[in-house]
Amino acid sequence: MDPVGILSAVEIKIPIYILISYIALISICLLLRRIHLGLAVSFLFVFYIGYLYNRSFLIETLKGSPLGIVIYAGLGLVTIVLAIISFLSSHK
């Protein structure tokens, strides 16, 4: 199957409250000229949606080992910390 066919066959249903939250956060970041924070918010959104829709696959792949989930959550936490640092730092 060609790549366009694969992409057109995928259907992802993102809850509207998550989508509205994402749009609001990105808008605030752009209005405050915090481009790096906006990128971090986008990454976290994709990170969360990826986990939300692939949770069963991740658990099946890791064969019930909590270490993989802890690593996945740890990377998300590191991203949040970097976003906070970016938000608090002054830009010229």
CA angle 91, 82, 16 (to 5 degrees): 100
Q: What is the pLDDT of residue 75?
A: 83
Distance from C-alpha of 13 to C-alpha of 25, rounded to nearest angstrom: 20
What residues make up the domain containing 88?
35-92
Residue 29 included in any domain: no
Residue 80 included in any domain: yes
Per the structure, the count of domains in the chain is: 1
Residue 24 included in any domain: no
Would you tell me how many other CB atoms lie within 10 Å of the CB of residue 37?
23
Residue 26 included in any domain: no
Q: What is the pLDDT of residue 24?
A: 93
Q: What is the pLDDT of residue 7?
A: 61
Q: What is the pLDDT of residue 3?
A: 67
Residue 58 included in any domain: yes
Q: Which stretches in the chain have pLDDT values below 50?
A: none
The answer to whether residues 50 and 34 touch, using CB atoms and an 8 Å cutoff, is no
**Would the pTM count as exceeding 0.75?**
no
Residue 92 included in any domain: yes
Residue 5 included in any domain: no
Q: What is the pLDDT of residue 31?
A: 92
